[in-house]
Amino acid sequence: KAGVTQTPRYLIKTRGQQVTLSCSPISGHRSVSWYQQTPGQGLQFLFEYFSETQRNKGNFPGRFSGRQFSNSRSEMNVSTLELGDSALYLCASSLGPGKEAEAFFGQGTRLTVV
């Protein structure tokens, strides 16, 4: 069974540009969450989608957005990139909406903003 797949693995962008990251969840998983990981702030929740609906959103500016498609694949977009957006972006998928469901993480996309 394939795991969570994130593409691309590495990205280098310039300030002011926008970027789109992709996440394919484990087959059958309908919940996809996104996290930002930085050395200073640790793991911070961005948002969660279930059945194409955003159910939960973290405390990030509107430049960060996402969506989920009918096949559960998800994308997140960051517009007007800032240097502080440099981070490892992790996607996680879960079987369902329950709190007991463990999250399975992808390997992440390392975004560097220069």
- Return the residue of 15, 20, 43, 69 that touches another protein, per CB under 8 A: 43
| Using rule CB under 8 A, residue 55 touches another protein | yes
| Using rule CB under 8 A, residue 25 touches another protein | no
Residue 112 token pair: 């560097």
Residue 53 three-state SS: strand
Q: How far is the CB of 37 from another protein (least distance, A)?
A: 9
| Using rule CB under 8 A, residue 100 touches another protein | yes
What is the identity of the amino acid at 105? Answer: F
C-alpha distances in angstroms, 30 versus 11, 24, 40, 53, 91?
26, 10, 31, 10, 13
DSSP state of 25: P
Positions touching another protein (CB under 8 A) are 4, 6, 31, 33, 35, 42-43, 45, 48, 50, 55-56, 58, 90, 92, 94, 97, 99-108, 110
